[in-house]
Amino acid sequence: MPDTLTTAPQAPVFNPLDPAFIADPYPTYRYLRETAPVFRTPLGMCIASRYTDIALVLRDKRFGKAYAAGIVRRYGEQGLQERAFANLGATMLVLDPPDHTRLRGLVTKAFTARRVEEMRPRIAALIDSLIDRVHDQGRMDVIWDFAHRLPVIVICDMLGIPEEERGQFLDQSYVNGRLIDPVPMSRQEIDDSNKRTEESDAYFDKLFERRRREPGDDLTTLLVQAEEAGDRLSPLELRANVSLLFAAGHETTANLIGNGLLALHRNPEQWQKLRDDPSLAVGAVEELLRYDSSVQMTSRVAHEDLELGGFPVKKGEQVVCLLGGANRDPAIYSDPERLDITRQNVRPLSFGGGIHHCLGAQLARLEGELAFKALVTRLPDLRLPGIDAPQWRPSFTLRGLKTLPAAWG
């Protein structure tokens, strides 16, 4: 299978799995915006990199998900039988209305602004406990000791996962960003994803049985009861969407904290500014989302022939939206390559848009706000020894660090 989106000679070369691109995709985005803001690749998809074009794709009803067609296009009909793809295909993440509307409606109440704000004291206390855990050591791995643990524990709380069973989730990530990359996966990558999906399914099936016997005040109980009603949620949808809530509930937030802390230390005047005034954390989160988004790409499929930024897109074609490119579009932001935590009117597309706007956006913002406030307040002399050679995970869509050593004192 091809491992590149290299285009025809007259079009740009774009390989999102190139380690150099993963390390720093932003020069490529700038080049694409300036030379080919919308173009077609030999894999039969269009790539868009400007803010205005992408905002339109995310919100216009002439575009949808068409997930199954995309899997068939990349892997053939047999791709739909792969366990990982079948599970993902039953989630609200990749479905169009009316199924998307039905599934999202089941969980929306748990993510309202009021419900999220009620979680503030619990999240703040949790952050303090995580810092207490490592404070006297004078060092930690920001990703695994802090950025990963925080949202995992929060989503475990919401899903009603017992504390004694959380170790397996705290010690490793079950999220594979390659599943939603536009570049086809290798057979080995598919097998690994199937295995992870099988392990995740086995755990959640046991949790569902427990919540049928012992209902709780949690999201899992809510969805189990919807499944038992028979007409709102199928067994596959139950398993797939609880897995999605768990994965989405921690992966992007962990990356927001890791990517954001790295960006602040690569721009030490911004770290100092936040240290001097921790109340800037709310706006800092928006700017950090814009500057180095946890989610770099999303896609839609055209439901009819149309033009996007003057470029003809055919019915059935996939449009890959480079969110990271849109977030640094100079047509929207002045001096977009500069990090400025006091920047005004920041509207990053990092959480998507339209009906698929991220359900947990407010929760992620709250966790990020409280995390950065606590870090600059309790560890003001925190430093990152590996700042010049960070280790990025090999995924294009989900941008995050493998590790981020930190020290203080």
Encode the chain in three state secondary structure: CCCCCCCCCCCCCCCCCCHHHHHCCHHHHHHHHHHCCEEECCCCEEEECCHHHHHHHHHCCCEECCHHHHHHHHHCHHHHHCHHHHHHCCCCCCCCCCHHHHHHHHHHHHHCHHHHHHCHHHHHHHHHHHHHHHHCCCEEEHHHHHHCHHHHHHHHHHHCCCHHHCHHHHCCCCCCHHHHCCCCCCHHHHHHHHHHHHHHHHHHHHHHHHHHHCCCCCHHHHHHHHHHHCCCCCHHHHHHHHHHHHHHHHHHHHHHHHHHHHHHHHCHHHHHHHHHCHHHHHHHHHHHHHHCCCECEEEEEECCCEEECCEEECCCCEEEEEHHHHCCCCCCCCCCCCCCCCCCCCCCCCCCCHHHCCCCHHHHHHHHHHHHHHHHHHCCCCECCCCCCCEECCCCCECCEEECEEECC
Q: Are the C-beta atoms of residues 111 and 360 closer than 8 Å to each other?
A: yes
- Averaged pLDDT, 57-62: 96
The yes-or-no verdict on residue 179 having pLDDT over 80 is no
Lowest mean pLDDT among 63-77, 79-93, 198-212, 391-405: 63-77
The pLDDT of residue 184 is 81
- Averaged pLDDT, 12-34: 90
- Whose structure tokens read 């700038």? 30
Whether the link from the prior residue into 12 is cis, omega within 30° of 0, is no
Q: CA–CA separation, 347 vs 330, rounded Å?
A: 13
Structure tokens at 239: 């398993």
The pLDDT of residue 284 is 98
Q: CA–CA separation, 368 vs 288, rounded Å?
A: 10
For the chain, what are the domain ranges? 19-382
Lowest mean pLDDT among 51-60, 108-117, 178-187: 178-187
The pLDDT of residue 11 is 56
- Is the CATH number 1.10.630.10 carried by domain 19-382? yes
Structure tokens at 68: 């199954």
The yes-or-no verdict on residue 42 having pLDDT over 90 is no
Q: Are the C-beta atoms of residues 120 and 281 closer than 8 Å to each other?
A: no
Q: Quick one: pLDDT band at residue 1, thresholds 50, 70, 90?
A: very low
The pLDDT of residue 175 is 64
Q: CA–CA separation, 220 vs 205, rounded Å?
A: 11
Q: CA–CA separation, 109 vs 111, rounded Å?
A: 5
Q: Quick one: pLDDT band at residue 6, thresholds 50, 70, 90?
A: very low
**Amino acid sitting at position 317:** E
By residue count, the chain amounts to 409
Which long-range contacts (C-beta less than 8 Å, at least 24 apart) are formed by 105-112?
Answer: 106/222, 106/223, 106/226, 106/232, 106/233, 107/219, 107/222, 107/223, 107/241, 107/245, 107/359, 108/359, 110/158, 110/219, 110/222, 111/359, 111/360, 111/362, 111/363
Could you give the maximum distance between any two Cα atoms of the chain, in Å? 62
- Put simply, whether the predicted model's pTM sits higher than 0.75 gets the answer yes
Neighbours of 313 (CB within 10 A): 24
- Whose structure tokens read 């814009």? 290
Q: Quick one: pLDDT band at residue 331, thresholds 50, 70, 90?
A: very high
- pLDDT tens track for 119-159: 999 999 999 999 999 999 999 999 999 999 999 999 999 99
The yes-or-no verdict on residue 8 having pLDDT over 70 is no
The pLDDT of residue 9 is 37
Q: CA–CA separation, 246 vs 294, rounded Å?
A: 16
